[in-house]
Amino acid sequence: MTRGNPFPTFPSRKTRAVSKWGDRIFLVLTAVAAAGLIAVLVALVVVLYHGSLPTINALGLNFLYTLTWNPQGNVYGIVPFAIGTLLTSAIALLLAIPLSIGAAIFLTQHAPTWLREPVAQVIQLLAAIPSVVYGFWGLIVLVPIMRYDVDPILANVLGWTGWFSGRHIGLDVLTASVVLSIMTVPTITAISKDSILAVPRSQKEAALSLGATDWEVSRRAVIPYARSGIIAGIVLGLGRALGETMAVTLVIGNANVIPTSLFSQGQTIASLIANDFFEQETPLELPALLEAALFLLIITLAVNIVARWIQARFQAGRAVGAE
Amino acid sequence: MSSNQTGMNAPAANQSDTIQRKKGGRGTMIAVIAVVVVILLILVVGYSAGWFKSSNSTTNNSGCTSPASTTISGAGSTLVAPLMDAWALSYSASTVNYAAVGSGAGISDITGKTVDFGASDAPLNPAQRTAIPSPGVLTIPESIGAAVPIYNLPSLSAPLKFTGQVLAAIYLEDITNWNDSALQAINPGVTLPNAAIVVVHRSDGSGTTFAFSSFLSASNATWKNTLGHATTINWPSGEVGSKGNSGVTATVKSTVDAIGYVDINYALTNAVSFGAVQNPAGNYIVANLTNIASAVKDSNPVFPTPTGDWYNFTVENAPGAQDYPIATFTYLFVYTDLGVAYSTYTMDKAQNLVNLLLWMVGDQTGQGQTFAAQNYYVPLSTAAMAFDTSEINSITFNGAKITTCVPS
């Protein structure tokens, strides 16, 4: 970096002076952006907490273990919606993870090169579709399929478990979970694909030279190496599932009850807020909804922290993390 | 940048060196500058908002003079939003800003005095009435709506007939199958399918739910004693909730064997077919703008006092032979004394608000109620208009009467 550098790529003195100021402005802008993000999160928590003080004072811990939600009777319990949120997200991930990882492995390991880029583009496009479109598609297309084709089979084959009992009309927890899984697949696939692509060739070649089959290469050489990236993708997908509003509202049936089977109507915290936020019957209902929002924020944070912890544990002992 | 491709050494390494060098030791200064920039941004936004406020102009009307135009803001019901939008476009004496945020939010806004008027499809319930601060609000009937039953039975062509008793039994889940004998008895000759009824209701609070549940309360003692009438009902489990008139319609349309209820305005605007409901005279009526208007007229409503309790006021079950039985008012809420209610009000703004309200409920050429029919709303009855006019004329400004000059 001495003056009179012979390389033509090196900026002149004048340009350097300008870029010095440019860098300062750029740094200030990035600092503003970062400070703004943190300020938004803090403001969010403060507003939610302040807004929910009336219910926190009136109901206390009752809010956390009351099993019903009835604004007319001034009874507010988060349990039905906490169960609805965690249940739909869990089933969604159960369906989405094998599908996404399978797709990612196919795209990176087995698909012909000319196919990879177009399919990857389509998957990214899927991630950008607004959730209300997924919800409307779910209502118009998926609900009848679930009601007349899928649910009867599930009821016959798995009815004995109790998870698939009762009347099935397609507008239920199961359909909401399926819609959520479809919405999370693109996110998990895209990130898994990138982290699998980051696996060094030598890793695979070593496995192959030991006589491993394709399955064994994926199972023992590729996935373990890319695991932390895949988990990061799953966490992002889970975030989308936990907070999803419109798509769930359209297909879950919006009943403020604890689901008794996957064919029950239910409600997630996000769909509850979407439904009731603009119309409150009693003064305590809005604070209760804000407390529900705060609870959702805490659940999401907790899930993320747990996931990061798992990720860190998997990463431990590995020389190079897959990014 | 393009020279990177021709560079002989790795330019990326150089760049990261530069950034690291700049980062060191300047953190405090950058943070200070960041804060200053944020404060400047806030100041700029604040100034521009203040700038807007100070602009003024004078408008004259034929016959009398009204004050300079001010901005009048309202919030509430989404159901009356299309009518409000039509009004805001046509009204020139003031600028009308209406936010369709939902009836409950509209009531919250008028309670918090953040708007000049609130609009709701249902009257104030006892809790909401208690929350209204001094000097209290007037309840002004503003337009007329009705709840109609919709269903999805592809095998049927003619409108299905319902009674209040049967609708209540369906929503209580006493009747669970379409070929139930009670439904068959009022629909002789109709082949009803042997299928379970999928019951759909509003999942959000709604004036349509208020009207519908009031009608079911009047029809069925069990309903009245267990679920009552309100904008949200503690529905029995096993029923499906959907958000908004559009949500209920979409769910019913896509779900065979479903039943739901929506507002007449929504059903007419979107060409949704609906069932007939039996009125007290014993006739089965398919709702239209005419028989809803006649229902409100024939119910000969005795209006509560303007600041009184409107929660049990109803124009349902009108006695006329052709009257539709599930008619309902939508309401405006305005403070009785604008000077007492708002510290920032001027007599001019009070005059502008009162002029607007009188124009909304007036039916002279070019006034508010003449916009109703073309937007699929039922115009107010003569009695309701007379009541509204005297109510609005009672609004005061710090105890003083407000001179009016209603544009046409």
> Mind giving me the DSSP string for B191-248?
---S-B-EEEEESS--HHHHHHHHHHHHH-HHHHHHT-S-SS--PPTT-EEESHHHHH
- Give the pLDDT confidence score for residue B56 in this predicted structure: 42
- Give the pLDDT confidence score for residue A78 in this predicted structure: 93
- Give the pLDDT confidence score for residue B403 in this predicted structure: 84
| Tens-digit pLDDT profile for residues A138-186 | 999 999 999 999 999 999 998 888 888 888 888 999 999 999 999 999 9
Q: Could you tell me if B112 lies within 8 Å of chain A, comparing CB atoms?
A: no
Least confident of B36-45, B160-169, B278-287, B346-355: B36-45
Query: Pick from B19, B233, B255: which is nearest to A169 by CB?
Result: B255
Query: Pick from B4, B6, B204: which is nearest to A275 by CB?
Result: B204
Q: Do B243 and A170 touch (CB under 8 A)?
A: no
* Percentage with pLDDT > 70 across chain B: 89
Q: Which of B156 and B200 is assigned the larger pLDDT?
A: B200
Q: Could you tell me if A165 lies within 8 Å of chain B, comparing CB atoms?
A: no
* Rounded mean pLDDT, A131-138: 92
Q: Domain A79-322 classified CATH 3.40.50.720?
A: no
Helix-helix angle A223-243:A285-315, to 10 degrees: 180
Q: Do B30 and A36 touch (CB under 8 A)?
A: no
- Give the pLDDT confidence score for residue B301 in this predicted structure: 86
φ, ψ dihedrals at B75, nearest 5°? -155, 155
B205 vs B213: CA distance, rounded Å: 12
* Rounded mean pLDDT, B361-385: 89
* Rounded mean pLDDT, A194-217: 89
Alpha-carbon Rg of chain B, whole angstroms? Answer: 28
- Give the pLDDT confidence score for residue B286 in this predicted structure: 94
Interface of B with A in 177-206 (CB under 8 A): 196, 198, 203-206
A8 CB neighbours in chain B (<8 A) are 3, 6
With a CB cutoff of 8 Å and minimum separation 6, the contacts of B97 are: B71, B72, B73, B74, B88
Domain ranges in chain A are 13-51, 79-322
A36 CB neighbours in chain B (<8 A) are 38
* Rounded mean pLDDT, B394-407: 87
Whole-number average pLDDT of chain B: 85
* Rounded mean pLDDT, A22-39: 90
Q: What global pTM score does this model have?
A: 0.79
| Tens-digit pLDDT profile for residues B244-263 | 888 899 899 889 999 999 99
φ, ψ dihedrals at B166, nearest 5°? -70, -45
